[in-house]
Amino acid sequence: MEPKRIREGYLVKKGNVFNTWKPMWMVLLEDGIEFYKKKSDNNPKGMIPLKGSIVTSPCQDFSKRMFVFKITSIKQQDQYFQAAYLEERDAWVRDIKKAIKCIEGGQKFSRKSTRRSIRLPETVDLGALYLSMKDTEKGVKELNIEKDKKIFNHCFTGSCVVDWLVSNKSVRNRQEGLMIASSLLSEGYLQPAGDLSKNAADGITENPFLDNPDAFYYFPDSGFFCEENSSDDDVILKEEFRGVIIKQGCLLKQGHRRKNWKVRKFILREDPAYLHYYDPAGGEDPLGAVHLRGCVVTSVESNPEGKKSDEENLFEIITADEVHYFLQAAAPKERTEWIKAIQVASRTGK
């Protein structure tokens, strides 16, 4: 009987021989993780046994890479993975830890809760707190703050974070708020913006987080960017990134010239409505952007070239300028979610 598939999807994996990062199709089983060069492959490139393994998240071994976690095998071999966004990393880590715990207890993996009336430990759930902070109505308000001839977009001050924690009754006083905010920062739920907060996070000050109106922070998936005095062209380019992120993740994209398929990280923003795509293995700048205003997006049931293939879950975006983009999701549900999100953005965004 084959092991149960718990979770699957694209993650960026660091090579064991060469220090290269490449997107791989990952499959979490009850007893290990298989990784494939692409989803349609029948034979995995390798497997990581979970018995006796330890998961480290967040992993801070790579300062320029966000949403990284590490699996250390029983033989003390380290494997590094990078997710496309914070919630995706946390979901993988949560399932991997649970799978390891089930192996140790001789239990079958199940998503049904067995806690029932067992009281949870009196500890703070940083993940739940982060989601509350991001609530558009009751959470921490994102602002565009100008300081030293720079504009920090989609950010907030350290004082605002502590103010929110106290007013929300998540902590009893500002000292506790400072401790929780520091934990949110170290876990990657908050990111420093500006020299003052970055220096504190690097250990120059006594506390990594500053309860200070001049220390700026942002949510990692908020669309934060900093702009200085710019030319008109720069202003037009940055306008693309002002929209709020409403969906993100990895998809396969067909190239316009060579017609080959490559994994890309996509970030969907609305108002203005843009779909930016990136190299998931690294790079802060997008490889391209699709302006979605007035676009048409539909599912495609056959290969764009009209040839028989294993391609499934395809969909097509046709822009107002009649440029065609062919994308592939990992599952029918994921394709439907992307189509619906893009349709909403194309109608409401600029």
Give tens-digit pLDDT for 76-130.
999 999 998 888 888 899 899 999 999 998 888 875 543 333 333 356 788 889 9
In the prediction, which pLDDT does 161 show? Answer: 96
What is the b/e burial string over 307-335, where b = at least 16 CB atoms within 10 angstroms of the residue's CB? Answer: eeeebebbbbbebeeeeebbbbbbeeebb
In the prediction, which pLDDT does 302 show? Answer: 66
Residue 145 or residue 305, greater confidence: 145
Strands (E), the chain: 5-14, 21-29, 32-36, 46-49, 54-56, 68-72, 78-82, 143-147, 150-157, 191-193, 216-218, 225-227, 244-254, 261-270, 274-278, 288-291, 296-300, 314-318, 324-328
Give tens-digit pLDDT for 36-70.
988 888 899 999 999 999 999 888 888 778 889 99
pLDDT at 304 over 60: no
Give tens-digit pLDDT for 238-269.
678 878 888 999 999 999 888 889 999 999 99
Share of the chain above pLDDT 70, in %: 88
Residue 229 or residue 342, greater confidence: 342
In the prediction, which pLDDT does 298 show? Answer: 94
pTM above 0.75, yes or no: no
Give tens-digit pLDDT for 144-158.
888 887 888 889 999
pLDDT tier for residue 231 given thresholds of 50, 70 and 90: very low
| Domains of the chain (ranges, CATH numbers) | 5-105 (2.30.29.30), 134-228 (1.10.10.10), 232-348 (2.30.29.30)
In the prediction, which pLDDT does 349 show? Answer: 65
pLDDT at 230 over 60: no
In the prediction, which pLDDT does 44 show? Answer: 92
Six-digit token string for 301: 């049931």
Give tens-digit pLDDT for 325-334.
999 998 899 9
In the prediction, which pLDDT does 305 show? Answer: 58
pLDDT tier for residue 289 given thresholds of 50, 70 and 90: very high
Average pLDDT, the chain: 85
CA torsion through residues 162, 167, 173, 179, sign:
negative
- The C-alpha atoms of residue 167 and residue 186 are separated, in whole angstroms, by 22
In the prediction, which pLDDT does 118 show? Answer: 31
pLDDT at 218 over 60: yes
Would you tell me how many other CB atoms lie within 10 Å of the CB of residue 130? 20
Helices (H), the chain: 86-105, 126-133, 158-167, 174-186, 195-201, 232-239, 332-348
Residue 9 or residue 226, greater confidence: 9
